[in-house]
Structure 1
Amino acid sequence: MSQQPGQQGPSSFLNPNYVNPEVKGHYLKPVIITLMVLSGTIAGLRIITRSSILRSLGADDWVIIPALITAYALSIFNMMSEEYGWGRHIWDIQPKEWVFIRQYQFATQLLFTYSVALAKASILIFYLRFCTTKRFRIAIWITFGLLIAWVVSMSGLIIFQCHPVSNFWKEIPLTQTKREGCLPNEADMVLLHGIFSVVLDVIVLFLPMPTVLHLGLPTKQKVGLIAMFSLGLIVCLAGCLRIASIRSTILTFDVSWYGYDLYIYTSTEAHVGIICASVPSLKPLLAVFFPRLVTTTYGAGSRNRRSGALPDEFGSRGVRNSKGYPLNSMIESRIGSEETVFRRDEEGGDWPLPSSSSSPDGVVKTTEIHQVVVLRDVPFR
């Protein structure tokens, strides 16, 4: 029996409201669309930076593309679920509408798994590009193994949790709590899925920290690298919020009402993962258009410093400064009354030290000036 538009009183299983049902909110679509725009823009800028400025698209860049595609599909299905009643009380959803919602749930569980896994894989491949020790490389590959095992196991559980598979979305009375031919612990599986995803996020977050701390870098640069990698904390936070939302959803029968925010957290975790994986690649873009943002000043007593083994985002021969030298390969030493421009050896090595007794190799010019030591046109300092 349906409730008329003018009828008062709360709806229920005995008195469902299919005409003008109460809804949890109207903010799901605006939030998800905003996330889609942000992740798409940043991932697009990453591809442009790597292909046009650095001219060296890597495997991590290619992997982020399917991660973005699956995240977009995930978000679209989440928004389509709202059209069929997600965000209403479950008794205000017609059984035929619930079939579509369950189909979208099946698809989004798989898409979420693939999207966040691909984003994590992109970060791990990025780590391999500046891996400096055998121990770090082994740790990366072990994490890869855990990631692959998680994807394969969760994909199998999601796809084959019902036999036949279509039983997952088969039309049944909404008061029926168990589906024929399906595993009885679907809610627990979804919760474990989210927990293991966050555990992998934490592993990926802390994986490079020991290596960064042991790199021969200035303290400011170490702090910058650690701060950059710490962006992964945002992904971990989104994952924790998603777990909390899953727990509150599975503890109630009215899952479509109390699970409204869960779809937002699911899209958030997927898109924020892509954003955090792409932000480090934008440093050369900032160096080209906003060089002052990537300038670091050292005191006049600065000593010889090695840049460490850093990937192209922190210095690439493909990026040239105003003098035609590759970014991160030139240092202007302005000490006392002389300005001396040095170039680092193209094959690597230390920066030459200014010397008052003899002119170091690679001196380009010397002029009278009174300044401090300045590093310019460096994509990451």
Structure 2
Amino acid sequence: MLFEETFRDSWALLLFLCIANAPVVASQDSGSVTELVGLLPNCSLPCLLNGIQAAACDLTALPECLCPNIPLQANVSACVQLSCDYKDQATVSILSNKLCAEYPKESRHHQLLATAIACAAVVFPIVILRCISRLKVTSRLWLDDWMTLVATVILAALIGVVVTTTKLGLGLHYWNVDVRNAVPILKLMYASEILYIIIQVAAKGSLLAFYARIFPNRNFQIAVWVGVAFLVGHGILFLGLVVFECRPVAAIWDRSLERQCLDLTKIALAGASLAIFEDIAFLVMPIPELLKLQLSTKKRIALLLVFSVGSFACITSMVRLKTVLIFGKSLDQTWDYVDGIIWSVVELTCALACAGLPALWPLIKSIPGVLSTVRGSKIRDVTDLSSRGPGTRPKSKTMIGSQNRMFKELPKLPTEHYDTSERGSKLEIKTKSSYMDMESSSRDEDLELQSVARERSAF
């Protein structure tokens, strides 16, 4: 009885509001106030009534009270989403947009577009210059370069998805989005989740391929393979969870379908946590190998700086972790997911850009007048390591001669005199052995950065 009374009061209040605002609704598609009231679904009436009462709106100025009041619209929208089916939600959204058509809409479009443009302007030139630098030094691209290129191409697709989704309504509040764009937006957001995982795996895989190429230590190679297995397993697992997060899959973007979905918040939180763990592990992984190298303090610092640029990607992953807590829980997805999307693009951009910066050093050195003060510095040999292929070694400190002809200065071998031809063969053997010993000793002295960088066929 009480419910019926409240329901009748709601209808009466709504009718009164429509009559009071007849000049507002008169210009709309509905031919009369009665027709407009008839278009409103019954499930939305308690939401509207409670919202108006809570905000103490003046009944003679409903648009002025409702349209600029974002918290009020958020409460009404959340109530409608929880109380009505998707078709009724669309009806309420259409009528709400008509009522507030003349009022400005809060938007974050500029943040999304600025992020997309800035990230594209940073990562694409760096990756292109990385490839040019590699070709200049080694005349070929290694596996880590190809994986970086693949990740960059997919990142370009992701940025395109973000720009397209923004034009459709991403960055607006959910209740301000054109109903016709709701399904395309949800489809594109679903695609962006898949692209993010693929780019993340490819970017980190390129880093492991780089490690495998420059550190030939057997134990380290095993550690790299373990990292590859963990990375691939992580990628496949979460790719499957995201792709099949709802049954049927079409229910992810078609809210009119009955569906059973996984907890997207838990999936996003677990994925972000594992990503941070991988970032830290892969960042720390080469440190033991670097500490084994016989380098001066300056070289150690320079080398650690080269590898530590990846920490920027780790920091962005940590910042992004905070934004994923609302995934799957928000009732204003087109607005609340903006931070997560921005930091996801920034994270991937930092990962690819930081991985490419060390490889740019040979190209920078070739520019006349650039970094002239460090020409001839020992740090040059350190940074060139990232461009070396298998079987190459840095120049020895004992190299002498012209620029085009370099010779290793060897100490004189001890001379021995033999009177018989029988001892001639022994002298030859001893001479060869002495040269081999000297070459081995020189190789130990030239061990800077484990310059025996072998390309692993398994990668």
TM-score, structure 1 normalization: 0.75
Residue number in structure 1 paired with 2:338: 260
Q: Which segments of 5 or more consecutive residues in structure 1 lack a partner in the other structure? A: 173-178, 299-304, 319-325, 334-339, 356-360, 362-381
**Match of 1:75?**
159
- CA contact 2:214–2:386 (8 Å) conserved in 1: no
Q: Which range moves more in the overlay, 41-50 or 6-15? A: 6-15
Counterpart of 1:16 in structure 2: which amino acid? S
Query: Structure 1 265/309 Cα, relative in aligned 2: closer, same or farther at 3 Å?
Result: closer
Paired residue secondary structure (1:27): helix
Instruction: For residue 64 of structure 1, report the CA deviation from its aligned partner.
Output: 0.9
Aligned to 2:110, which of 4, 8, 26? Answer: 26
1:155 alignment partner, one of 195, 219, 239: 239
Q: Which residue of 2 aligns with 1:176?
A: none
Name the amino acid aligned to 1:254: D
Q: Give me the whole-angstrom Cα distance separating, in 1, the residues matched to 2:386 and 2:221.
A: 18
Give 1:137 deviation, angstroms. 0.8
Q: Aligned residue pairs: how many?
A: 326
CA displacement 1:287-342 (0-9 Å, x = unmatched)? 222352643658xxxxxx9x799835379999xxxxxxx9x526599xxxxxx769
Quote the residue 1:89 is aligned against: 173
Deviation of 1:268 after TM superposition, in Å, equals: 0.6
Which residue of 2 is the match for residue 232 of structure 1? 310
Q: Distance in 2 between matches of 1:342 and 1:135?
A: 40
CA pair 89-220 structure 1, distance change in 2 beyond 3 A: same
Taking the TM superposition and a 5 Å limit, the aligned residue runs for 1:116-127 are 116-127=200-211
Q: Which amino acid aligns with 2:312?
A: I
2:348 alignment partner in structure 1:
270
Opposite residue 292 of structure 1, the aligned amino acid is S
Q: Residues 139 and 293 of structure 1: is their aligned pair in 2 closer, same or farther, counting only changes over 3 Å?
A: farther
Following TM superposition, by how much is the alpha carbon of 1:46 offset from its aligned partner in structure 2, in angstroms?
Answer: 0.7
Superposed CA deviations along residues 88-107 of structure 1, whole A, max 9, x for unmatched, are: 22222244322112111111
1:132 aligns with 2:216: yes
Calculate percent identity across the aligned residue pairs: 23
Q: Which amino acid aligns with 1:329?
A: K
Give, as a single letter, the amino acid of the residue that structure 2 aligns with 1:163: R
Q: 1:131 to 1:35 in 2, by over 3 A?
A: same
TM-aligned CA distance change 1:31 to 1:227, over 3 Å: same
Distance 1:104 1:137, change over 3 A: same
Q: Residue type matched to 1:76 in 2?
A: G
Residue in structure 1 matching 2:293, options 215, 221, 227: 215
- Cα 1:331–1:98 shift into 2, 3 Å: same
The structure with the largest alpha-carbon Rg is 2
User: Corresponding residue for 1:373?
Assistant: none
SS of the residue 2:372 aligns to: helix
Mapped contact 1:283–1:314 kept (Cα < 8 A):
no
SS in 2 for 1:8: helix
Q: Say which of 292, 303, 310 aligns to 2:372.
A: 292
Instruction: Confirm or deny: 8 A CA contact 2:358 2:386 kept in the other structure.
Output: no
Cα separation, 2, equivalents of 1:234 and 1:182: 38
Match of 1:247 among 325, 330, 350: 325
Compute the TM-score of the two structures, normalised by the length of structure 2: 0.63
Residue 156 of structure 1 aligns with an amino acid whose one-letter code is: G
SS at match of 2:108: coil
Structure with greater helix share of residues? 2
Q: In the alignment, which residue of structure 2 is the partner of 1:329? A: 395
The unaligned stretches of length 5 or more in structure 2 are: 1-17, 19-23, 29-60, 68-72, 78-91, 413-434, 436-459
1:8 aligns with 2:64: yes
| Change over 3 Å in CA distance of 1:185–1:293 after alignment to 2 | farther
Aligned-partner Cα distance in 2 for 1:288–1:332 = 24
2: distance between equivalents of 1:354 and 1:292?
34
- Tell me how far apart the structure 2 counterparts of residues 316 and 129 of structure 1 sit (CA, whole Å): 7
